[in-house]
Structure formats: structure tokens, C-alpha cells
Structure 1
Amino acid sequence: MIDLTSSLEMAGLRRLGIPVRRVTFLLISSLVAAASVSAETPSNVSPQAVLHLTNGDYITGSLTPSANPETFGWLSPVFTQPLAFELAGVQSIHFPMPDKLPTHAGDYCVTRTGSDVLFGSLVGMDPQSVVLDVNHLGRVTIDRSTVLRLFRIKGNAELFFVGPNGLNGWKASGAEEGWREDAGSLVAEKAGATLYRDFGMPSLARIEFELSWSSQPSFEFAIGVNDEARTVMRAFSFEAWENDIIVKREGEKLADIASLQSNIGKSGRIHFQAFLDQQNGRLLVYSSEGKDLGELNVPLADPKTYGGLQLTNRSGNIRLESLRISRWNGDLPLQVANDQSRIHFRDGKIVYGSIASFDAAAREFIVGEGADATRIPEDQIQDVFLSQAEEVPPPPLRVAFFEGHKLSGSLIDTSEGKIRLKVPGIQEIVTVPTEQLQSLFAVAPQTEQTGTQDSAHPRGRLEAKGTRLHGSLVDTPENTSQPLVWLANRSNTPVPLKPGLSARIVYREPPPSVASETIEMQQQVAQARLRARRGGGLVGQIQSLFTDGEPGNKKKKSSRTSEAVLHLRTGDKLPCKMVNVDEKGVLLESDVSEIKFVPNEEVQALELIPDAPATQIQSLKRQRLLTLPRMQRDNPPTHLIRSVDGDYLRGRLISLDAEQLQIELRLDPKIIRRDRIVRILWLHPDSAEDGDDPKAQESAAEVNAEEGYIQALQNDGNRLTFTPEKLSGEILTGRSAVLGTCRVNLQQVDQILSGDAVKLAAAGLPFHDWKLKPAAEPLAPSEGSEESGEGQDSSLVGKPAPDINLNMLDGTKFKLADHKQKVVVLDFWASWCGPCLQVMPQIDKVAHEFADQGVELFAVNLEESPDKIKGALERLKLSTTVVMDSNGRIAERYGATSIPQTVIIDREGNVARVFVGGGARFDERLRSALTAVLAGEAPKSPAAAE
């Protein structure tokens, strides 16, 4: 024993050259690291098969018939016809996982050279062959020289698991998508990828496993654990340390370590048998041939039996090739002469000798010949080892079944739902149903470019759901209705893209675009100073922001020469040499389109100074600009105008010419110099949030969205959306419902979008998220409802009243700050609210009773026109002073989401009471509240009121 408090650390022993096969030491807490375990299920199950190419591309779909053994036919939902991929360019095919994995069928598991595995019923065996009846494959005659081992599984109550059989049933965690299936093995290539499964192992278990790697390995394989990290800390763990494979265990007071294999290299594999005794804290490790490699004895104070295993990839890569778990009787395994044929009995006994044959009728193995022959009933047998076979170069393909079969061979052909293989060492042609396949893997795929490479057309990358394919668009064939035809790398066959496909073709990744308006940008100093000098509200600032004038007044012409840029609702962006606007649409001249007019319903924005510096707009201001008051819903604003100073104006654009813009602001026309305008945004009623304008379906953008339309993103930043008609060389032509004939050079295109990808891209473009939102409708309590309480439940009570600066019905201004030393009553109401009209006369009566004590009443109307307000007051025969909250901002500040709401503000300007609702006897509650407020009684806190 080594006391580590006064000696060397375990991890440094071999670095110092100490020849230690096994070291037992006292545990110190600094060497304990808890592993992180999660119970996430891998989400790699696809409803279709996925074909992976050697260049990293992939495509979902299904195999199609092909008589050429050098190609795979592949039908994808992305294309209208099957593709043909050269076998040399295919890396793997992963088939969709069934709802329930099949179990191993048959009596035996047979392992062959090249890591082939077959499960089936043993039909016969002689000196030349082994015959199996394999589920879904039929009778298979195997050259005996390729058979390594027969393991009996039927009637073997000691057997718990044979696999790994794909990811189904395992729990992956750590690195995202860290584990994948590959030809029946489980592979991790990302650091931190962890795999766990509970097999229900007994306390005495035999675990036979095979791991391999192709780069410097660093892994941890813990046995006898559950899904809690603390059990991994105390488990027996196989690990790769630098160039050695070790096994260790760290208990509460003791720890033990054994070196199992040295000089493992950057590429290699291990095949071990572990005999585990969890209750006694004992582990014996043997090679696959039965050689004793090491033993650990580290009992725990409170031993428990856990039935799971956990494999973690720390760096490099790791592959779980095979795993077999069975019950162990506790006896020490016998030493094995692994170069001889032998039979292992279930009771641990071993019989050596030439295994002559198998009597299928008697279900007995015959060992020896003639008078010396011995018959052994198969129900006594666990393993049959034949003579060691020579390894041969692997065939080009390897297939893995959901049932656990693994076969390597050469492709003959594919037909409907089947693959035919020629497997070395098997007499019959193996016909494999694709519905039974888990994966197909190229054993030695080529990495160089294969397939026809088209050099006459720009090369790009096609991306769609479940698909990434490098290649190029090629010339449109004559007499075809599909103008876009794709020739993929690793394929010799150009195929048409499916119309309406949501996809993109990337020729160059464009630089990230910067939105013209962003609240993150810090360009506020000059703008703040300018506003401080101007003062006043937005409408009142028009004279200083813009230079107003009467129609016909001549202004100094702008010296700017940059083109304007027109943005369409489809996402199109095109430069314009001359732009005028009237009430019907935009008149323009552009080099990229023959069209001279675009109707207003298709326009998203017009940039008159495209290179103007971006400015920040506060989120609250933006929200106000895009909030549509109730009173304006019948006549909403149609445009937002941004000035060179960064301010915005909202109204109805009447016209724009080379000199000036005419806009209607609340029925009042204004004239603004054109050179003071950066951009104009169109506010469409059909794009408004919660909008239901039936005209939305009538726009040309909807017509343009028919199947087959695309959008070309050019490297100058312009975009064109059109239905393609023909590609010839580098020139793609088509027609737009908005812009007419379009023509783009693919050498000048960064990306081509199609289908829903166009809509998704447009939604993220600058200006496309500027949409009107109707102001929230205040809720009205039911008729006759009465609110209990004393009006002190609101969070506003006891706090300074939010400021108010609004117009009144008579045209004068109301400022709450002008009414200090008064008790102010605010009655939030609307003419469409029945309870409001019921309670208003009561509020008016009580306010008059207290008028000589300094109580003032103001009825705050929510977003209604003066005519509706006057009509309601006439019906009620009231002369109450009305304040007009035209856009609902004041109601929002006072939390008036339900009306009627009555607010009492004391002489210090603090909110004293808030009542929501009313009722027939509301006057009594209001009278009592005003008496208390006038007497100076402090309001209770909301908590006290409860």
C-alpha cells in the first residue's frame, strides 16, 4: 500500500518510469472528479434514410433500383427525379429507425473475420462450412475458415444483452449530437459526449466489450453504475491514460489501479472480458483470448448493485464495436489455449479438440473423429471457438441490421426495397431487405473528387431540409417545365429541383447586413442636443426638422447623386435612378428591371439617402409610432417618414417628386423638402399585427408566391424575386409579377432562395418588421358589477402620479403638473363601455359636491373622435371636462386595462386611490374615499389592504 499523503501521485507513476503493474493506494479527495450525467435521449431519428457523401454532404431520401454496381440510385424529396451517386463517393447510408427494435432471432450468434456478425439457427456444420438459417436472409452457407466463434443465445438465461444495436435505448448527454450510429457501432467524436444505459445487470456479471479509435484516445468506460454522477465516481472504470489502457476504482478510503495494455497508439482497439462482483468490490479482466490481464479489489462501505454502463469520450474519438453482458457464477475463468479449437461449457469447463461437425437432428456437436469422437449436447454449451482464421482485406461495403447482423461485401445491384451483396466466405448471394437495414457503410471510401464536375457553371451549395449538396445549376434542357437543374458532386446525373421547394443555393456567404434602425447603436449625442434645442412634441417639431412650405415653393436642390433604393414586400431590393410617388404607387427607372411603376401595395420602403448614417430609436418611441389608436382605425396612417436628423413623422403620403414630399398629418397637409428625407416606410393594413384586411390576398406579392419562385441575392446587395424560366451558361432569366422580366448573372449572385425560404428571409430584412399594431382594447366589467375594496389595491397607490400632457375636448391643453395642491379625480372611460356610462353621472355628481374643497374632475377618454365624445356627453346630459387620450399612452401609464377606472390624486401629486369598475352605489365609495383623502389620511400599502 502507498499512502499518497507522503508519496507519489497515482497519475505520475508511469511518467517517472516506475515499473508498476498494479498499485493500491489510500484515496485523497483531490483526485476525485465527479462525472456529469444527463438523461437526455438522442434526437437523431429521421423519418427517411440519410445518405452521407465523402465530402461531408448529405441528403435524405430512399434507395431506388440500380443495375450498376458502381452507383446508388437515390430518390429525394428535393428533386423530381432520382440521383445516381457513385459508390466511391458514398460514405454511409443511415436508414429510419423502426418504432420498436427487433430482437435477435435464432439460436446462435456467429462472429466472422472482418467483424461480421450473424444471428440465426444452426442448421449444420462440417469441416468445410457452417450453415445458418438467418431471419430475413434465409439459409446462409458460410466458409468455415472465416468463422471465429459461435455463441449460443437461445435458452441462455445468463445472457442479458448483445449489441450495441444502435442508439435506441441509450441515453446520450454532454456534447450536442455527440454520438452517432455507424455500421452497427456507436461512435463519438466530440469531447464530453457521454452514453449511458441500464441493462439490469446482476451483482455478478460478465461484460465482454470491444472499443476502437482512430485518433489519440481519451475515454472513460464505467461499469456498474446508475444515472447519478456519484456512482460513476465509485465505479470500476476502464480509461485511456496517455499511451496506456488502465482500469481503476476509487473507494472511500482505498483505491486500486491496473495497467491492462501499453503502447496503444493513435489508432487501435481493445477487446476485454470483465468479470464483475459488485457486492465484494472485485473485478477480474481478461483478454478476448482468455489471458489474465489484471485484478482489482476495492470494497465499498455500503455496496450496492447497479445495472448500467457509461462511456464518455474525453477527446479524440471512440467507437463501441460490440458489447455482451451475461451472468457470472463467480468462479475464476480457466486459462485458455486460444490457438486451439475448443468448446466452453455453461458450467465453465473447457474441452479442446477438432470440432468435426454438428448433428442438427440430435442437436449435438461432434468433437474428434471415429472411435474417439465425442458428442456434446448443445444445451450444455456456451461458446464454440474454431481455429483462428486469417484476416483478409475488408470488402468495400459493410451493412448493419436492426437485429444485430453485420456483413461486409460488394454491391451487385439494388432493386425495389432490396440490396444484393456478394459476401466473401458466403456461398449464396445475400439479398438484404432495406427495411431491415440500420446502416450501410463504405469501409474504405475515396476522399478525392468523383463524379462529373461541371466547370462551365458557378459552383455552389444546395441547402434544404435534410439536404446539403455541393454542385452547380446547369443549363435548362429543351422542352422541360423545370428550369432549375442541379448537378451534384459525386453524381453523374443532373436532376431538376422540385418546384416550390424551400431551399437556398449558396455561392458566397454574404457579409452580415446591418439593420438601418437598431436600438443598440450609440449615436444619440447630437440628436439629443438637437431635440433639447427644439423642444415640444413630435408634430410641433416639424418646422425645425423639415423645411415646410406651400405647394409650388422652390427649394434649394440637393447636391446628392446617389441612387435611391426601393424595397418590396417580397424582399426585393433594387436601385432606382429616378423615383416619384403618388397615391397609386411608385414611378421609377432602374437598370435591373424593365418595369416603370410599382403599386403601393407591393412597396415596403423607399430609401432616398441609402448611405445615411444609421440612428437609434428608443423602443418605447418605436412602439408609439407603430401603435394604431382606436380613433384612427378607420383612417390609419400609411407611411412613416424618417428625417436626416433621425426623427420620424407618421401620416398619409400624398405625393413625392424631385423637389418635395406632400404628406397629410391628421387631415392637415404639409410640404417637406425631399433632401431632408432619408427614407419612407409603407404601413400596410394587411401586414398590421392582428390585421384582417381581405386585400392582403390580392397583392402581386401573393401572385409572385406561386410554386417555383426564387429570390436572387446579388453581391451588390440587391435582391430580385421572380419565377425562373431558363438558365443558359451564367445567365438566369425569369419573370416577376411585380417587376416583369428579370435577368441575373450567377457570377454576381451570392445566394438563391426558393419557396418558404424567401418569406423567411424577407421577414428578417430591415423595415419588414415595421408593422402597425392596434392599441390594446381596454376591458369593460360586466354591466352592474361592483368592485369591492377601498381602492387601495393598485401598485400605483402611494406613488407619484404619472405625468399627463394632453389636449382637451375644447382644444386647450391639460397638464397634470398645473393642478398641484388640488385633489384630482381621473375617470378613464369610452362611449362604447356601458359600465362607464352608468357610473359617469355618479362621479360627476360627487365631484361637484366637493368642488369647493379643491376637488377637480377630468374624464379621460380612450382613443375616440371628438364627435363620439360629444354625442355621449349629450346623451348623458353632462358637461364634464374631457381629456383626450388619443393613442392610449396615458391609460397605459395608469394601468387602465379595464374600464371604467377612477383614480384619485392627492394634493402632493401622489396616487391615493384606484377604483376599477363601478356599480349602482359607486357614489358612496367615491364619496368616502374623497373625504379620507381631503382629511390627509395616508393610503394603506397593498399588503396591508389585503
Structure 2
Amino acid sequence: MKTPLLLLLLPALLHAAPVSEVRCTDGSQFKGTLLDIGTDRASFSADFLARPVPLKLDHILELTLPPHRGDFTGDHIASALLSNGDTLRGELSGVTDKEISLRTWYGGEMKLRRSMVDTLDIQNRPELIYAGPTGLEGWTQSSPDSWLYEDNQLRPKKSSMIARELELPQKIHFAFDMAWRSQPRFRFIFCSDDILSSNPDNCYVLMTNGHYFELRKSTSRNSPAALGPSIQIPEFRSREKIRVELLVDRKTGLIRLMVNGRIAADWTDPEPQVGAMGGGIHFEGNDNSLRFSRIEVNSWDGTVEGKAEIPDDGFLDEMDEDAPKAEEPEPDPTRIRLRNNDHIEGEMKGIEGGKVQLKTQFGDMELPVSRLRSFPLRGKKERDDYTLGLYEKPKRYTGDVRAWFTDGSRVTFRLESAENGRLKGYAQAFGQVDFDLKAFTRIEFNLYDPELEELRSADARW
């Protein structure tokens, strides 16, 4: 096997970094602690080893790291989707015709090449209520020792439930990853009034029903009842891992289900005020192959966009994913979209002191960055005509790694050195960078070896 080698790597990670798992290019894997990385190898210790052992970097597929949730500053979070599929998030601090600047906790001030930014989306900074899991502490199990915490995941040993009490706001965003073997059978209970009960009197229940999701509501006045039709989930047939998100407005009764980022269903509770709902969340698994990870509970600003798509035959495969999408209308480069879905026709001149300077037909004006939702970075012609140099994809480099953030987004860069818990490198889209290692939960090596693609794809399914 011929694999690219990370040519310029690290003097050392001086403080031993715990690693959940090391996966190798031959399919083997083990748990251990990363001690240091040299020019061509990394050193690990493990309980089953008499002494630390070196491992060649071109034999490493990926490292899994413990999760850490950093905090953004400011009153908004801007998400810049790059033309290669990477995503960087931070506070929008500057916009010119050449650069988009983000202030981040994990990499300081980053200046992105505008021609390599696909879209820019701005959201209110949510209040973090829970992010994990980081262990079993704080969770209540339906029977003693019925759940395991390992590799940053919760897993039932048998058919059982685990629950946690939270203080939930009126508008809530729930999110979690769920992995399984064969066909998943589980329930996610939220807004529960009793975390000690497997069937609380007052709660909502998202549950699997074959290849479908179903949502029910239970109150002390009424027995559990469906809030609408079951929703077919094509990924249940062709995947073994999905990300589930729920947007819940406890005032209006809207409950939106998203699967892997797409809108799967919009349900409405016709009587949202009925029922003494609480703050409990429960995960119930009937299969010990189920795994729950990247659990997040945040506040939500109540903004809803788009609508659910109806699957054609309920089966999602590679042909479906590669099928051409309907042509979208050409974006108007002068139309700036606001948080409340209004629009302003104008030109963005820059950002100063957290305010956007706009030139409009009515004169110059200023708006807080947090009032923006999005604005087009280019027109269709500018995007399609590569000779204009206004839309490009970053170059690939020998030594590139792909590092995954805790929220599931990723960034690709050439790793050049590391010390004191910092990763330094370079990418054409943003130049030299100095990342905090704690920002990442997984780092992939040997990205461009075609012989390793199948191994990565098999792992992604699980």
C-alpha cells in the first residue's frame, strides 16, 4: 500500500493527550494515550502495553479525542461553508471583496479567502443547556448498571432507559447522533415531568416504528396519542448512523424533525399548553448495539425555514445522493436577508464595532451583525465561470489532515507542527493557522489514499 506521509509534523505534544481510540490503516484499533508525535511516527501508551510504543504515521487512519465544548463570544455565530465542504464558525468580524474574517475561540482571528467561501449563514448565539455525554454522572438509569459510557457515547447493555433533568426554555433545540446495527428500536422522550418513570404522565415521545419516526404526546389528562402521521426515514434502510435534531416551540406547538440536516417532518401540537410538561430527557434502547453521542440541548430563536421533503420510494442510496438537484434561482447579490426574513437591497461596505455598514438607495445605514441572516457572496455567473477567479476550491496538500469539531463540522489543513496542545498548519482557504487541539474530537490522516476510502466509508456508515 502506498500512502502519503505527513512530512512536517510536530516536535511533541508536551502534555499527554488522552485518546479514545486509534484506528490503523490495516483495520486494527486500540485505546490509548497519545504521548508525542515525531516527523514520521507517534508514540502511544496503553494499559495492555508494558511500555510506550511508536506507530508510523502512514499506518494511522484516525485518532479519536475526548470532546470539549468551547464557547463563542459575541451575540451571534457565523457559519462559513467552504467550497470543499469544510465549515468554520465564529463571530463575523469583517467582510471585504477579498476576505471574510471570523473571530474564533479555537483558532483566533481567521481570514478566509472569499472566493473559497460557498455560503455564509448567521444565527443568534444559542444558550447551551447541555453538551455531552462526558460520563454517566448526572444521568438516572432505569435499572442499576444498565448503561455504559465509552468512547464519548452512551450505550445500553440491555433493554433499558437513561434520563436526565434539565431546565428547558420555551424554544428548544435537541440534537444527538444515533448509531445502530440492523434496524433501530428506540424512544427519545423530551419535556418529561418524571425522569424516574419509563412512561411519564406528561411528555413527548419520538419513537421508531420500522423505517418510520412517530411523534406522540402524553398528558395526565389524555393517553399517549400521535401528533400526526408517521414519517418515513430513508436513512433507516441505507445507513447505520444518523444525526437527529428537534426544534420545539412549546408556545406555538411546532415540532420540527431534521435528519442529517434535512427537514424530515413538521408536526403541530394543537394544544401545546395542555399537560404539565417538565425538563426531563430520556433515551430508551431495546438493542445493545445502539449508541448515542454528540448530545446537545440549546435554546432556539424560533426561526423556521423551508418545508419537509417527501421521499419518493423510501430508499436512499448513492444514486439518489448523486441525482441532479432542481436548479435554484440565481441569487441577487444586492439582496441582504435579515433575521426576521425581511430583505434589504444594498451593498455591504464592511463591518466595524459589531455593526454592518450598508449602502442602500435610501442612504448609508448600520445594522448589528446579529440582525443579519445571510447575504449572497456572488451571482450565478460569477460562480460558474471559474476564469473570473471569484469561486475556487482549495488545493490539496501532502500532509493534509481532516479534523472534526464537536458539532460534526470539519476543517482540512496541512498539519505542520504541534506543541502545548496546539495544532499548526496551512490551508489555501485561510492561510497559516494555530488551532486548539481541544476543538476536535477526531483527526483523520492519509486522506487521499484511494485504497483507504472503502475503510473510511464503512466506518462512516457505523
Fold conserved between structures, TM > 0.5: yes
Indicate the residue corresponding to 1:397 in structure 2.
402
Equivalences for 1:355-374 in 2 at 5 Å?
A: 357=348, 359-365=350-356, 371=361
Indicate the residue corresponding to 2:282 in structure 1.
310
* Residues 130, 142 of structure 1: 8 Å contact kept: yes
Residue range with higher mean Cα deviation, 380-389 or 408-417: 380-389
Question: Any unmatched runs of 5+ in structure 1?
Answer: 1-45, 154-158, 450-946
Q: Are residue 377 (structure 1) and residue 349 (structure 2) matched? A: no
Q: 3-state DSSP class of the match of 1:258?
A: coil
Cα offset for 1:94?
2.4
Equivalences for 1:147-296 in 2 at 5 Å?
A: 147-153=119-125, 159-161=126-128, 164-167=131-134, 171=139, 173=141, 175-178=146-149, 180-181=151-152, 186=153, 188=155, 192=159, 196-202=163-169, 204-207=170-173, 209=175, 211=177, 213=179, 215=181, 216-225=183-192, 226-229=194-197, 232=200, 234-251=202-219, 252-253=222-223, 255-256=225-226, 257-264=228-235, 265-267=237-239, 269=242, 272-277=245-250, 282-285=253-256, 293-296=265-268
* Residues 409, 421 of structure 1: 8 Å contact kept: no
Deviations 1:151-175 (A, max 9, x none): 232xxxxx33277355267637475
Cα offset for 1:73?
3.9
Question: Which amino acid in 1 is paired with 2:128?
Answer: F
Indicate the residue corresponding to 2:8 in structure 1.
none
What CA RMSD, in Å, does the superposition of the two structures yield over aligned residues? 4.9
* Residues 147, 162 of structure 2: 8 Å contact kept: no
Question: Which amino acid in 1 is paired with 2:412?
Answer: G
Question: Which amino acid in 2 is paired with 1:137?
Answer: G
Q: Give the alignment's TM-score, normalised by structure 2.
A: 0.62
Question: Which amino acid in 2 is paired with 1:61?
Answer: T
Question: Which amino acid in 1 is paired with 2:368?
Answer: E
**Residues 1:53 and 1:262: Cα distance change in structure 2 (over 3 Å):** closer
Indicate the residue corresponding to 1:83 in structure 2.
54
Equivalences for 1:653-732 in 2 at 5 Å?
A: none
Indicate the residue corresponding to 1:417 in structure 2.
420
* Residues 107, 435 of structure 2: 8 Å contact kept: yes
Q: 3-state DSSP class of the match of 1:350?
A: coil
Indicate the residue corresponding to 1:139 in structure 2.
109
Cα offset for 1:306?
1.6
**Residues 1:269 and 1:353: Cα distance change in structure 2 (over 3 Å):** farther
Indicate the residue corresponding to 1:913 in structure 2.
none
* Residues 137, 430 of structure 1: 8 Å contact kept: yes
The structure richer in strand per residue is 2
Distance 2:296 2:395 in 1: 24
Distance 1:386 1:222 in 2: 39
Distance 1:418 1:64 in 2: 11
Q: Are residue 53 (structure 1) and residue 26 (structure 2) matched? A: no
Q: Highest relative contact order (Cα 8 Å, sep 6+), 1 or 2? A: 2
**Residues 1:323 and 1:48: Cα distance change in structure 2 (over 3 Å):** closer
Equivalences for 1:463-474 in 2 at 5 Å?
A: none
**Residues 1:52 and 1:237: Cα distance change in structure 2 (over 3 Å):** same
Distance 1:116 1:275 in 2: 28
Cα offset for 1:418?
4.2
Cα offset for 1:355?
8.3
* Residues 110, 148 of structure 1: 8 Å contact kept: yes
**Residues 1:355 and 1:87: Cα distance change in structure 2 (over 3 Å):** farther
* Residues 117, 405 of structure 1: 8 Å contact kept: no
Deviations 1:560-584 (A, max 9, x none): xxxxxxxxxxxxxxxxxxxxxxxxx
Identity of aligned residues (%): 8
The structure whose Rg is larger is: 1
Deviations 1:758-814 (A, max 9, x none): xxxxxxxxxxxxxxxxxxxxxxxxxxxxxxxxxxxxxxxxxxxxxxxxxxxxxxxxx
Deviations 1:899-935 (A, max 9, x none): xxxxxxxxxxxxxxxxxxxxxxxxxxxxxxxxxxxxx
Q: Give the alignment's TM-score, normalised by structure 1.
A: 0.34
